[in-house]
Amino acid sequence: MGSQVTLAQVAERAGVSLATASRVVNGSERVVGARFRERVLAAAEELGYTANTFAQAVARGRSDVVGLVVPDIQDPYFSVIAAAAMAVVEPSGEMMLGTTLRRQEQELRYVSTMRARQARAVIMVGSRTTDNTHTRQLAEAIAEFVAGGGRAVVIGQDKLGADTVLPLNRAGAKDLALALVDQGHRSFGILAGPSTLLTAKDRVDGFIDGLARRGRRPSVILHSDFTRDGGYQAMSQLLDRRTTPGCVFAVNDVMAIGAMAAVRERGVKIAVAGFDDIPTLRDVAPSLTTVRLPLEDMGRMAASMAMDEPGERRRVIRVKGEVILRDSTTLVRNA
Amino acid sequence: MGSQVTLAQVAERAGVSLATASRVVNGSERVVGARFRERVLAAAEELGYTANTFAQAVARGRSDVVGLVVPDIQDPYFSVIAAAAMAVVEPSGEMMLGTTLRRQEQELRYVSTMRARQARAVIMVGSRTTDNTHTRQLAEAIAEFVAGGGRAVVIGQDKLGADTVLPLNRAGAKDLALALVDQGHRSFGILAGPSTLLTAKDRVDGFIDGLARRGRRPSVILHSDFTRDGGYQAMSQLLDRRTTPGCVFAVNDVMAIGAMAAVRERGVKIAVAGFDDIPTLRDVAPSLTTVRLPLEDMGRMAASMAMDEPGERRRVIRVKGEVILRDSTTLVRNA
DNA sequence: GTAGGCTGGGAAAGCGGTTTCCACCTAGTA
DNA sequence: TACTAGGTGGAAACCGCTTTCCCAGCCTAC
């Protein structure tokens, strides 16, 4: 029926002032006497009162909204992180979701939206690019957001001056390369993702570095989108070449999955490795060799930092990846 | 820097009243003279003004927040719908995400949260259960939400009195059964999901109905969670039995994927079919027979209804599923 | 020439809360 | 007993913005 029950109605019904009602219903420093407290609670209960969080946000000058900005909620990498972050935020806050569809300028837009909302925090899961102008603008926007009393946490970018959860992409990719060579692989290709994406670049560099330690180098490096379809296309392109490497590293799992689809389609035999260890991998066959990142932990950590009181100095949590060798790179003993 | 620029500051700088400034920065009925308009816009620009959406929501008595409530954002079924809905909402609204972790009472909580927020709309993606008490409570909460001026759209439940996008589960499953029998399958098992979930039940019933039309019936029906792991467990259990059917219908794709994992693990040969046609299926091998639901369309339609002006009468959009036969149920010519 | 209608600006009253004061009452202390 | 301190309730200011009035000036019409 009617519209929203207001605090004023509760106060009236309980026969107390607005101030008292407010103190009871949404706890404050001030203690309210038991008699009054009960009356207010009863009234609130009877009327089915729920606080208007907007009004609270305006009055308090802050809100409990946490903005989560991801490139694509359908990508398992991001949805795992989102789900984990959600679990942390949910008990005491609310989550506003923004997806950039992998367009950088959207990141900027969301940060200012969040500032306008006086969001308590914003968590950005993104990837640093070679576009320094954008990085600088984003860093500025984040600085403003923080100056305005918000908390900013970034996953995967390290140049934004915010609290950060940073996967050690380079080291992980290097370890992977070492492991693959030690497994007996001899020729390598890299599906390198977008050339503008530094996350991808770090992984490529790390991989090349690892190969170099064993006196090898990739015979081919192809760029494409950072998505399943990007992996598929790049691998198809690679398979069109005269000679193909025996082992291909795709810089993330979704690309690797796309690459495997291309491989399967052509009925060729080629080893594929990915990066991230998204849960989806449990069900791809052959099982995919990858570098495991603790995605859930990353989401949780980011959200925890976001919910913390701001004020302390910048924190950077580095998470390292663990090489997981599986069937997709198992070398058949022959030839 | 410092904190937020307020409209009052803009007005002062432009040398106009608050009212005029307000009218300029977010267009109202009232026209503002060109001279003043320019001055205000310039001032807003210089100061980097962004409207405080909370304050706007309080003043206007409504907001542009659309709440999206899903059981699990990691499940591809929901993330596809979420992404599609997001694309529709994003240009003119903001999306608040709620995940229930498949716990019903959470649905209720979110609906009232959204009411408190005076959200413009709430989109619930859920599934009707046998818990009539809950269904009734939810319907009441939704009715209140709507009475308060909000718009409610539900995907997959038909008893809530809200605008609805309703997959024809029963018909789809029936068609699937017919197709499978016609393909030559003779003995069937069903991984039926939770017995309390009516979506699952509808699919089971439809499938049984289809079989019946061909004079057959399932030899075994097992219940489990509606998740990948649920499918895995149920299939494992099924495979432990003395005799196993030649073809198993899992009531959704993620369960089917889990089931296939179990099948693969044991190295047995058994046909598996799912329901939904989530995008993930592109990369499972063997490719999975399923009933395709236009998930993106469903998300878009729901979001469109949510963004519409409320007021017209209840709309129910039924979407039907299309049987897609793939390798997982291809019968090898032998025996 | 003047009444009546537009136009467009500003003052101020909300919107639903929170929070700062201030007042009052009851103890506690010397 | 007088005075102070602490605890607790209420009035009112305030958060940032929208919107209703009110009013001044100007144009048109008779």
pLDDT digits (tens, 9 = 90+) for A168-214: 999 999 999 999 999 999 999 999 999 999 999 999 999 999 999 99
What pLDDT, on the 0 to 100 scale, is given for residue B310? 62
What pLDDT, on the 0 to 100 scale, is given for residue A1? 36
Which residues does strand C reach (CB under 7 angstroms)? Answer: A 3-8, 18-19, 22-23, 25-26, 28, 30, 49, 51-52, 55-56, 58-60; B 15-20, 23, 30-33, 35-36, 55, 58-59, 61
A237 and B CB contact within 8 Å: no
pLDDT at B298 over 90: yes
Tell whether A335 is covered by a domain.
Answer: no
What pLDDT, on the 0 to 100 scale, is given for residue A264? 92
What pLDDT, on the 0 to 100 scale, is given for residue A174? 98
Determine the 3-state secondary structure of A113 from DSSP: helix
The verdict on A103 and A133 lying in the same domain is yes
Considering only residues A308 and A173, tell me which one the structure prediction assigns the higher pLDDT.
A173
B110 strand-pairing partners: none
Q: What number is the average pLDDT over the span B16-43? A: 87
Find out whether B228 and B250 touch, Cβ atoms under 8 Å.
no
The verdict on A154 and A189 lying in the same domain is no
In chain B, the number of structural domains is 3
CB contact under 8 A, A97 and B98: no
Of B80, B101, B148, Cβ closest to residue A74: B80
Amino acid making up residue B222:
L
Task: Considering only CA atoms, give the Rg of chain A.
Answer: 25
A98 strand-pairing partners: A69
Nearest-CA distance A37 → chain B (Å) = 22
Q: What number is the average pLDDT over the span A102-127? A: 87
CB contact under 8 A, A99 and B90: yes
Cα distance between residue B148 and residue B142, in whole Å: 10
What pLDDT, on the 0 to 100 scale, is given for residue A3? 62
Note the pLDDT tens digit of each residue in A216-241: 999 999 999 999 999 999 999 999 99
Amino acid making up residue A309:
E
Tell whether B2 is covered by a domain.
Answer: no
Determine the 3-state secondary structure of A334 from DSSP: coil
The verdict on A81 and A41 lying in the same domain is no
Those residues whose C-beta lies under 8 Å from the C-beta of residue A211, and which sit 6 or more positions away, are A177, A181, A188, A217, A218
The verdict on A128 and A217 lying in the same domain is no
The verdict on B45 and B87 lying in the same domain is no
Note the pLDDT tens digit of each residue in B196-231: 999 999 999 999 999 999 999 999 999 999 999 999
The verdict on B174 and B130 lying in the same domain is no
Q: What number is the average pLDDT over the span B283-290? A: 92
Nearest Cα to A279, choosing from B280, B125, B97?
B280
Cα distance between residue B295 and residue B305, in whole Å: 15
Tell whether A57 is covered by a domain.
Answer: no
Tell whether A334 is covered by a domain.
Answer: no
The verdict on B29 and B69 lying in the same domain is no
Q: What number is the average pLDDT over the span A253-271? A: 95
A 272-291 residues with CB < 8 A to B:
279-280, 282-285
Q: Give chain D positions with protein CB within 7 A.
A: 7-20
Percent of chain A's residues with pLDDT above 90: 71
For the ranges A71-80, A266-275, B145-154, the lowest mean pLDDT is seen at B145-154
Q: What number is the average pLDDT over the span A108-124? A: 87
**Chain B residues within an 8 Å CB radius of A54:** 54-55, 57-58, 63, 117-118
Those residues whose C-beta lies under 8 Å from the C-beta of residue A108, and which sit 6 or more positions away, are A134, A137, A138, A141
The verdict on B176 and B188 lying in the same domain is yes
What pLDDT, on the 0 to 100 scale, is given for residue B33? 86
A321 and B CB contact within 8 Å: no
Tell whether B1 is covered by a domain.
Answer: no
| Degrees, nearest 5: CA angle B181-B182-B183 | 90
Cα distance between residue A41 and residue A264, in whole Å: 64
Note the pLDDT tens digit of each residue in B66-112: 999 999 999 999 999 999 999 999 988 899 999 999 888 899 889 88
B199 and A CB contact within 8 Å: no
Nearest-CA distance B213 → chain A (Å) = 34
pLDDT at A27 over 90: no
Q: What number is the average pLDDT over the span B173-180? A: 98
Q: Average pLDDT, whole number, for chain A?
A: 91
The one-character DSSP state at A280 is G
Full residue range of the structural domain in which residue A162 is found: 62-167+296-320
What pLDDT, on the 0 to 100 scale, is given for residue A158? 79
Tell whether A56 is covered by a domain.
Answer: no
What pLDDT, on the 0 to 100 scale, is given for residue A26? 80
The verdict on B114 and B190 lying in the same domain is no
Percent of chain A's residues with pLDDT above 70: 97
- Report the CATH number that the domain containing residue B90 is assigned in CATH: 3.40.50.2300
Considering only residues A192 and A62, tell me which one the structure prediction assigns the higher pLDDT.
A192
The verdict on B311 and B282 lying in the same domain is no
The verdict on A183 and A121 lying in the same domain is no
